[in-house]
Structure formats: C-alpha cells, structure tokens
C-alpha cells in the first residue's frame, strides 16, 4: 500500500541488501515470539535502490528471524533515503559490564588500533574521516575516564576494525543514545540508568553515502551502531504471519496486504510525543 503518508510493501528477502550484522541474542528469541504471537508487529525499514534492490536500514533482527524461519518475503516500510526531512541519521552508543581498563588493554593489543587518553569534551556527535588516520570511536568509563580510539586505512578497513572492537562485548550490549545534556551531567546520568554497565562506547554518525559505499563493497557494520530516525514510521501494523506463507507469491501477498490494511484505521502524529511507561 502506497499513500502520500507511507509506503508499506511485502518484498522478497533475496532482494534486500543488509548493512549491519544481526544480534544473535535477539534474533533467536524473536523467532519464538513470532511463532507464539503469530503476527509481525512492526515492518522493517528499507530504502529503494536500483534494479529492484532494497537497502535494510532498520529491523535486522526481524529480517534475520524471517530468514531463520524460512520465509521468502517480509513486510517493509519503503522510504526515500535521499529525503533529508524523512530520514535523519544518528548513532547508538553501547554500554556493557566489562572493566574499562581491561577493555582498553584488549583494544590496545589489536593491530593498527591506536588508543590514547582524552577528555569529556571529546565526547559528542561527530562524523568519521573516510581515509587516513582518524577516530573510530570513544570509550568512556563510569568514572568518566575517556579514551580515543583511532585507526588508519580506507573506510572498509575501518568498518572491519569497528567489528573487531564491538566483538569484545557483543553478547552483552545495552544500547542507548548519547544525552543532549552537557557531558559532565549527561554521562553520569546514562550510567545511572544502566547500573550494571561500567563501560560505554560512543560511535560516530555515518553518512548515507558511507553506508551505501560499505554495503556495495560487501561490508557490514556491527549490530546496533547506525541509527535511522524515520519520520512517520509505521508501528503496530500487526500483520498475521500466515500472510507470508511461501505457497503464495509476493504479488498475491501484497494483494492480501492491501485488503488487510484497507480495513485498519491509523493515526498520524506530526509532533514528537512523550510516553510515560
């Protein structure tokens, strides 16, 4: 279904180019939930590319779960990646329960990774230098000790190093966003919200061009690093899993999707909303 507000479509999984690794700790349990609930609550987010290909932007674990379950097609919200107003790029930060000193020693032992001390003023949203020596991430302890992690090489080399950096703790990631408050105030609050964590890694924001470039060269970002903020994101669509039966072709599935969505009312929230849980 394509309207002036959104575009929802069932697309072949084989036509989707993934830009990130999937989180094994999340994809497995998601398979069980999809089986028990028998509905796909939210669509994945993709951008339309050339030759009927799509770039996965969000929902990697849902996509991985569908693959694990043997489905050929999946529901996606298709967005225009070039629309600056519709898609804002940012990044997640990772918190985890490893001693910062031990983690920094692990990073320092890796080839072609340079670690040096920094200041809290060095923590913030930033972009990455595509080629040559440049900072790839920032490590912060719960005591606000700051370490600047730099690597050399081309963009694809840096993404490979980023995967190695994340691999040290990938089974215990807590994702959050960098506070907008000043670092001396915001960082302690973030650690207070996650008392089990004592180390945080802050990543740069990657551009559209960089993400597409990495994907086309066969690279993958670590799970949960890139963050796409989608205006008018479709939520709680609740499509029955039976609709994705492989006995039906994708055209037939989209016809059934059209019938299903035409009976569902929806509301559009133009303003940012605050929910109390």
| Burial annotation 246-276 (CB, 10 A radius, 16+ → b, else e) | eebeeeebbebbeeebeeeeeeeeeeeeeee
In a shared domain, residues 166 and 239: no
Q: What is the pLDDT of residues 219-263, one digit of tens each?
A: 999 999 999 999 999 999 999 999 999 999 999 999 999 999 999
Domain assignment of residue 141, yes or no: yes
- What CATH code is carried by the domain that includes residue 47? 3.90.1530.10
pLDDT in tens, 11-30: 999 999 999 998 877 888 99
Residues 176, 102 share a domain: yes
pLDDT for the residue 276: 77
What's the mean pLDDT in 194-217? 96
**Rounded to two decimals, what is the model's pTM?**
0.90
Q: In the β-sheet with 134-141, what is the strand arrangement from edge to edge?
A: 113-118, 146-151, 134-141, 199-202, 93-96, 174-176
Query: Which band of pLDDT confidence, cut at 50, 70 and 90, is reported for residue 181?
Result: confident
Asked whether residue 97 falls in the same domain as residue 202, the answer is yes
Q: Does residue 275 form part of some domain?
A: no
pLDDT in tens, 20-60: 998 877 888 999 999 999 999 999 999 999 889 999 999 99
Question: What pLDDT shows up at residue 50?
Answer: 86
66 part of a folded domain: yes
Out of 150-164, 182-196, 248-262, least confident range: 182-196
Nearest to 73 by CA among 237, 224, 257, 236: 257
Q: List the domain range (segments joined by +) for residue 45.
A: 8-86+231-262
**In this model, does residue 107 exceed pLDDT 90?**
yes
Do both 70 and 97 map to the same domain? no
98 and 194 fall within a common domain: yes
* Overall domain count for the chain: 2
Q: What is the CATH number of the domain that holds 108?
A: 3.30.1760
pLDDT at residue 180 in the model: 81
Distance between CA 203 and CA 221 in Å, rounded?
Answer: 11
Identify whether 168 is part of a domain.
yes
What is the average pLDDT across 186-209?
Answer: 96
pLDDT of 277 reads 63
**CB 19 within 8 Å of CB 215:** yes
- Same domain assignment for residues 109 and 166: yes
């Amino acid at each position: 279904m394509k309207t002036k507000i959104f575009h929802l479509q069932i697309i072949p999984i084989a036509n989707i180019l993934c830009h990130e690794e999937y989180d094994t700790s999340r994809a497995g349990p998601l398979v069980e939930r999809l089986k028990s609930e028998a509905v796909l609550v939210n669509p994945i987010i993709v951008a339309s590319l050339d030759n009927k290909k799509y770039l996965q932007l969000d929902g990697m674990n849902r996509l991985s779960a569908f693959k694990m379950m043997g489905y050929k097609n999946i529901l996606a919200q298709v967005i225009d990646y070039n629309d600056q107003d519709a898609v804002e790029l940012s990044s997640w930060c990772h918190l985890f329960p490893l001693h910062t000193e031990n983690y920094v020693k692990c990073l320092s032992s890796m080839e072609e990774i340079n670690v040096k001390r920094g200041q809290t003023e060095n923590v913030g949203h930033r972009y990455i230098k595509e080629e040559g020596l440049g900072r790839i991430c920032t490590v912060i302890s719960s005591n606000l000790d700051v370490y600047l992690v730099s690597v050399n090489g081309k963009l694809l080399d840096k993404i490979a190093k980023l995967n190695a950096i994340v691999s040290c703790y990938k089974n215990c990631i807590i994702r959050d966003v960098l506070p907008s408050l000043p670092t001396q105030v915001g960082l302690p609050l973030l650690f207070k919200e996650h008392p089990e964590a004592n180390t945080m890694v802050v990543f740069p924001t990657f551009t559209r061009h960089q993400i597409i470039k990495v994907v086309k060269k066969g690279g993958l970002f670590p799970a949960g690093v890139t963050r796409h903020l989608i205006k008018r994101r479709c939520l709680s669509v609740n499509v029955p899993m039976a609709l994705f039966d492989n006995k039906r072709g994708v055209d037939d599935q989209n016809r059934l999707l059209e019938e299903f969505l035409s009976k569902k009312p929806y509301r559009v929230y133009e303003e940012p909303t605050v929910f109390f849980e």
